[in-house]
Amino acid sequence: MAEASEVLMSVLSTIRVPRPGDRVHKDECAFSFSSPESEGGLYVCMNTFLGFGSQYVDRHYNRTGQRAYLHITRTRKAQKEDDNSSGSGDPPKKKPTRLAIGIEGGFDVEQDQYEEEVKVVLLPDRQEVTSEDLSSMPDVVKERVSQSMAGLMAADSVSHALQVQQWDGEVRQESRHAAQLKQLDNGVKIPPSGWKCEVCDLQENLWMNLSDGKVLCGRRYFDGSGGNNHALLYFQQTGYPLAVKLGTITPDGADVYSYDEDDMVLDSKLPEHLSHFGINMMTMEKTERTMTELEIAVNQRVGEWEVIQESGATLRPLSGPGLTGIKNLGNSCYLNSVMQVLFTVPDFQSKYVSNIENIFTEAPSDPTQDFKTQVGKLGYGLLSGEYSKPAPDPGDDPTVNSEPRGDQVGIAPRMFKALVGRGHPEFSTNRQQDAQEFLLHFINMVERNCRSGENPTEAFRFLVEERIVCQQSHKAKYTQRVDYIVQLPVPMDQATNIEEIQEADRRREEAESAGAPPPPAPRARIPFAACLAALSEPETLTDFWSSAVQAKTTASKTTRFASFPDHLVIQVKKFTFGLDWVPKKLDVSIDVPDTLDLSALRGMGQQPGEELLPEVAQPPPGAPEVKAPVLDDSTVSQLCEMGFPLEACRKAVYYTGNTGIDAAMNWVMGHMDDPDFSAPLVLPGCSSAPGTTPSEPVSEEHLATIISMGFSRDQATRALRATSNVLERAVDWIFSHLDDLESMEVSEGGRPAVESERSREAPPGPRVRDGPGKYELFAFISHMGASTMCGHYVCHIKKDQQWVIFNDQKVCASEKPPKDLGYLYFYRRVME
Question: Which residues participate in catalysis according to the annotation?
Answer: 333, 792
Give the contacts of 553 (CB within 8 A, at least 6 positions apart).
470, 471, 472, 544, 545, 546
Give the N- to C-terminal CA distance of the chain in Å, as an integer: 71
Of residues 581, 534, 579, 574, the one with CA closest to residue 558: 534
In what helix (H) or strand (E) does residue 216 lie, and over which residues does it extend? strand 215-217
- CA torsion angle for 160, 161, 162, 168 (degrees, to 10)? 90
Phi, psi of 724 (to 5 degrees): 55, 35
Report yes or no: 195 and 218 within 8 Å, Cβ to Cβ.
no
Report yes or no: 416 and 378 within 8 Å, Cβ to Cβ.
yes
Report yes or no: 512 and 518 within 8 Å, Cβ to Cβ.
yes
DSSP state of 16: -
Which residues, listed in sequence order, are joined to residue 390 by a DSSP beta bridge?
A: 408
Separation CA 539–CA 716 (nearest Å):
35
Separation CA 49–CA 29 (nearest Å):
11
> In Å, how far are 426, 576, 678, 681 from 636, measured between CA atoms?
24, 22, 14, 13
Of residues 289, 283, 254, the one with CA closest to residue 269: 254
The whole-angstrom distance between residue 614's C-alpha and the CA centroid of its chain comes to 43
Separation CA 272–CA 250 (nearest Å):
14
Of residues 359, 383, 381, the one with CA closest to residue 371: 359
Q: For the stretch 486-496, what's the b/e string if a residue is b when 16 or more beta carbons lie within 10 angstroms of its beta carbon?
A: bebbbeeebbe
Residue spans of beta strands (DSSP E) within 535-683:
539-546, 551-561, 567-572, 575-577, 583-585, 588-590, 595-597
- DSSP, collapsed to helix, strand or coil, labels residue 689 as coil
Report yes or no: 122 and 129 within 8 Å, Cβ to Cβ.
yes
Separation CA 752–CA 784 (nearest Å):
50
Separation CA 288–CA 303 (nearest Å):
25
Separation CA 706–CA 713 (nearest Å):
8
DSSP state string for 492-513: GGG-TTHHHHHHHHHHHHHHHH
Separation CA 327–CA 335 (nearest Å):
11
- DSSP, collapsed to helix, strand or coil, labels residue 802 as strand
